[in-house]
Every structure is written in structure tokens, then in C-alpha cells.
Structure 1
Amino acid sequence: MICYIGLGSNLGDRLENIRRAVDLLKASPGVGILRLSAVYETAPWDTDTKQPDYLNLVAEVETTIDPLGLLGLLGEIERALGRKRLEPKGPRTIDLDILYCGSQIVKRAGLTIPHPGARARFFVLKPLADLVPDFVDPQTQKTVARMLGGIGDQGRWRKFCEKIV
């Protein structure tokens, strides 16, 4: 199954945090990274907390792990990289989110796919559009490019780097 995972960091060495998360994903049994988007630097979004800017990218992965197992793996990687969930929408060393798993729609306690905020967040849609602009959201039937065009840039952003390797 092809899944798209959002990665973000705004504490410490942000790029190194993302690199380490990608390395841990690569080393995980049942997960293969197919492609990575460019890395974007974006202002914090939808928060009243003063915090540093984020680096964000999207990874296209092929996995044999079911979505709940993938969520568990992402949580393990976050913890291994020092993620502490102190406040909602607060700063973090690393944040890993399942955005899409093929055309699956999942609604379970602790897991919703497509990610509930993916369709409205520039920092998700911009890097996702690098990879799959014609991907169709299974709930709205809109392409990534169309969703991105409908939200605007939501503040300050820039392409930070094309590749993390």
C-alpha cells in the first residue's frame, strides 16, 4: 500500500531531526521510502503559542503495515527522537502524521485517514503536490493541486532545500 506521511520539526536542528526520522523509517521492516518532497520552511499555523518556524516535507512510502500499525511505528520514531506531547499545537522536535493510505478512509479512536487537517494546511499540501498533484482525496474527490489552489499560502513560507540527503 502507498501512504503519504507528513514530517515536521521546529525545535533543535530541524533538518537533522527530519533526516533522522527518514532514516528510522527506512530502517523499519515493512516500510520502503519511494520519494521525498522538497523541504519547506513555514510559519507556525493555527496556534497562539510563540514558536520557531517549521521545516516540513512529505514522504511517499510503500508499506505492508496496516494503518494502525503504521501509526504505532510513527509514534515510536517520534519518541526515539525526543518528542514530548506537552501542549497541543506546541513546538516539537519531530511530528509524523499519516496523511493518506491509498484511497482508504479510516475512522478509529486515535486514527483518522485521510488526516483531518490535510486538506486545509498549506504545509501539508505544498510538499504533497511536489509528489502527487493529481492524487484524489477519497472523501472530497478533489486533487491535491485543486485543494492547494483553494487555500492560499497561509502566511510566510519558502523552499528550504530540494533534497535532504
Structure 2
Amino acid sequence: MTGPVLVVVAAGSNLGDRMAHLASGVAELSKVVELEVVSDVVETPPEGGADQNDYLNLVLVGRTALAPRALLDELLRIERMMGRERRVGGGEPRTLDLDLIFHGDQIRREPGLILPHPRWHERPFVARPLLEIWPEGVDPESGRPLRTVVSDEVGRAPLGRVGPLVGPRVPVVSP
């Protein structure tokens, strides 16, 4: 890799002090990703009507010199550090969930690493904050502007706006 690449990461938490988990996760991530902009935090119910707490979610755009697999490994390390326990089949509550949405213009289909992240454009808690902080973004797979990839339904889906990410270890970054 020749230099820092633009990356998009989505974060969510629905266990414990959700805001603190997000703040600590973003602070830890800022050690390997130079943050450019962090979305406001939004609150959403869990997918599939699961009997769990609502999620706090955010999306960030930054730059890193790490290759996609190395960055994914860092995301998984941060999740573990924050107490994330993965189970077969997924769907479990999470102290912190970090998803690599885009890594430059990479398109990958490998075990454990799919880029762009599948269904990012179908998830209001990813698509809406991303469109707000990166309106000029382009989907690497289709080459189309992000705003044309996200459906009107997803673009209008209700999100509970919580506000800016706050916490003692959060770098000061704003849209």
C-alpha cells in the first residue's frame, strides 16, 4: 500500500454503558485510523425484532495505512478488548460491534472479509449517518454515488438522534 487509504467503519453497542463503549472503541481505533469525521450517534432497535436493548450506532470516515485484513484484525482486537463475545450464528447483544464498511476502492470476497460490507446500504443505522458525513462518497462496487445506492425507504427510516459522541477518551472530531 502506498499511503493512507480512506476507510469507513460502523460501530454499535447495546450492552452496558453504550455511549462509553462507543467512545472507548473510537478512541482505540484512532490509534490506527486517522479520523476525519465521526457521525452523530443514533439509536435503533436491534435487527430482526430480537429481544435485546436498543443499539447506539455511529459511522466514521478516516484514513489508514493498514491493509484490509490487518484493519479487520484491529477491529476484532478492539471488540475483544471491550468485552465482545462472539457466538456461532451471531445475533447476540454486543458491548461493541465494529464493521469495516469500505476500505478504499477494494472489492473483496474472502472468508471473514467482504468489501464493501454486505448490506451496508440496507441498514439505516449505517447508510443514513454515512450519507450525512460523506455526501460525496462513491460506492466502490457500483461506482455510483452513495446517495443513489441507498433506497428512499432506507433514507427515510426512523432513527433516534442521540447527538455527538461524548466520552472522556474521545478525540475531538466533528462533521
TM-score (norm 2): 0.85
CA distance in 2, matches of 1:134, 1:72: 28
CA distance in 2, matches of 1:122, 1:142: 18
Give 1:34 shift: 1.4
Give 1:75 shift: 0.4
2:7 alignment counterpart: 3
CA distance in 2, matches of 1:106, 1:151: 27
| 2:150 alignment partner, SS class | helix
| 1:151 alignment partner, SS class | helix
CA distance in 2, matches of 1:134, 1:27: 26
Comparing 120-129 and 84-93, the one that deviates more: 84-93
Give 1:133 shift: 1.8
1:130 alignment counterpart: 132
Comparing 152-161 and 120-129, the one that deviates more: 152-161
Give 1:49 shift: 2.4
Q: Which runs of 5+ in 1 are unaligned?
A: none
Is contact 2:127–2:154 with CA below 8 Å preserved after alignment? no
2:30 alignment counterpart: 26
- The CA deviation string for residues 94-130 of structure 1, in whole angstroms up to 9 with x for no partner, is 0000001122111111100100120211111011112
TM-score (norm 1): 0.90
CA distance in 2, matches of 1:97, 1:152: 19
Is contact 1:43–1:156 with CA below 8 Å preserved after alignment? no
Comparing 145-154 and 132-141, the one that deviates more: 145-154
Give 1:92 shift: 0.5
The number of residue pairs the alignment matches comes to 162
Flag the 1:153–1:44 CA change in 2: closer, same or farther, 3 A: farther
CA distance in 1, matches of 2:158, 2:38: 22
Give 1:26 shift: 1.6
CA distance in 2, matches of 1:54, 1:161: 14
Give 1:57 shift: 0.5
Is contact 1:43–1:157 with CA below 8 Å preserved after alignment? no
1:43 alignment counterpart: 45
1:82 aligns with 2:79: no
Q: Which runs of 5+ in 2 are unaligned?
A: 171-175
CA distance in 1, matches of 2:43, 2:107: 29
- The percentage of aligned residue pairs carrying the same residue is 35
What is the alpha-carbon root mean square deviation over aligned residues?
A: 1.7
